[in-house]
Structure 1
Amino acid sequence: MSGVAEVEILYDQHHSWLKTWLGRRLGCPALAADLAHDTFVRLLTKPHSLNNLDRARGYLRTVADRLCIDLWRRQSVEQAWREVLAARPEPVELSPESHAIIVETFCEIDQMLQRLPERVATAFMLSQLNGLTYQQIATQLKVSERTIKNYMAQAMLECMLIEVRHNQSVG
């Protein structure tokens, strides 16, 4: 099943159930309504063939569950950002737009780190957050410096792709 008409059928048959399920999961009816809506928008933007309507709830639940995970990850990133701002000796005034852009960028970096192989992400974090040299990272991870250079090239390519997406959305 795919297409607008099929999503309409799914919406009519399952929206109320999905919103209730999300409401129990999230504890917030307004947020549940938003994520239920986003679930059906996801079906419209990334169609998936459902030949069996009996499997529709399972698929909707999977999509909604992933949206919940994304939400919780975003909330975690946003909370960490607030804590960093609160810990600064001088208050930082940011416009709501700047705050949203920063949080979105952090979320994209978090997603990037989740996609990267674990050792690549670890090397990137050791370099960028701990300031370790490639040789120090190689020693810590018990690989060659050349391997670390390859890891960093892979991570930097992902960073450049984030920057390109950001520039396309701004421009």
Structure 2
Amino acid sequence: MRSAATPESISTLYQNHHGWLFAWLRRKTGCSQQAADLAQDTFLRLLSTREQEAFRVPRAYLRTVAHGLMVDQIRRRALEQAYLEALALQPEPLAPSPEERLLVIEALLRIDSLLAALPDKTRSVFLLSQIDGLAYADIGERLGLSLRTVKRHMHTAFAQCLRALM
């Protein structure tokens, strides 16, 4: 049994499954270029994997990785689009430079990823506190949680934020 993906095993996997994966992605995305990029990214992920599943059931594994990459790409585009729409509403002198836009988009993606990693209830509590500005007691009342539980969720969320900063 392999302990890590070897160049030979990746090469064989690529030769045997790249065409199928590309066709599957092209059907899903409707774009040959996007499908080609996602297929390449999928195989790049395999270079550092230790998942034996990739070699036991390659198509299922490749489809799962490619699907995850596709979802990440869709989320990134949606986030970028929302940011660009908000920018379009700003007066011209307030519009940031392209470099500043990229930094903001990257920060938004990190925040989105951090929030997505939180459990649903913790994310809800955190957003009600930080975005809506609700007091912990009000959050507890709205979500049917005790004050102690709200504090525990906030502690979890802040700890996750601190880990992300380190």
- Displaced runs of 4+ in structure 1, greater than 4 A? none
Query: How far 1:89 sits from its partner (Å)?
Result: 4.6
TM value normalised by structure 1: 0.85
Say if 2:44 is the partner of 1:37.
no
Residue among 102, 105, 108 paired with 1:103: 105
For 2:34 and 2:93, the matched residues in 1 are separated by 30
Cα deviation for residue 33 of structure 1 reads 1.1
How far apart, in 1, do the equivalents of 2:17 and 2:99 lie?
35
Greater mean deviation of Cα atoms: 42-51 or 148-157? 42-51
C-alpha separation between the residues in 2 aligned to 1:138 and 1:50? 43
Equivalent residues, number: 163
64-73 vs 15-24, which deviates more?
15-24
In the alignment, the residues of structure 1 paired with residue 138 and residue 69 of structure 2 have an alpha-carbon distance, to the nearest angstrom, of 38
Counterpart of 1:115 in structure 2 is 117
| Aligned equivalent of 1:86 | 88
Greater displacement, 149-158 / 86-95:
86-95
Aligned to 2:30: 27
Show structure 2 runs of 5+ residues with no match: none
Q: CA deviation at 1:109?
A: 1.9
Following superposition, the deviation at residue 116 of structure 1 comes to: 1.3
Identity value in percent: 41
* Alpha-carbon distance in structure 2 between the residues aligned to 1:96 and 1:49: 42
- Asked if 1 retains the 8 angstrom alpha-carbon contact of 2:129 and 2:136, the reply is yes
The root-mean-square deviation of aligned C-alpha atoms, in Å, is 2.0
Offset at 1:45? 2.1
* 1:114 to partner: Cα distance: 2.1
Q: TM-score, normalised by structure 2?
A: 0.87
CA contact (8 A) 2:13 2:55 kept: no
Report the Cα distance in structure 1 between the residues aligned to 2:47 and 2:24, rounded to whole angstroms: 21
Change (3 A) 1:30 1:108: same
2:47 partner SS = helix
* Aligned residue number for residue 11 of structure 1: 14
Paired position in structure 2 for 1:150: 152
Determine if contact 1:22/1:35 at 8 Å carries over to the other structure: yes
Write the distance in 1 (CA, Å) between the matches of 2:121 and 2:90: 31
Is the 8 Å Cα contact of residues 3 and 47 (structure 1) preserved in structure 2?
no
Name which of structure 1's ranges 5-14 and 97-106 shifts more when overlaid on structure 2.
Answer: 97-106
Secondary structure at 1:18's aligned position in 2? helix
Query: Does 1-10 or 123-132 show the bigger shift?
Result: 1-10
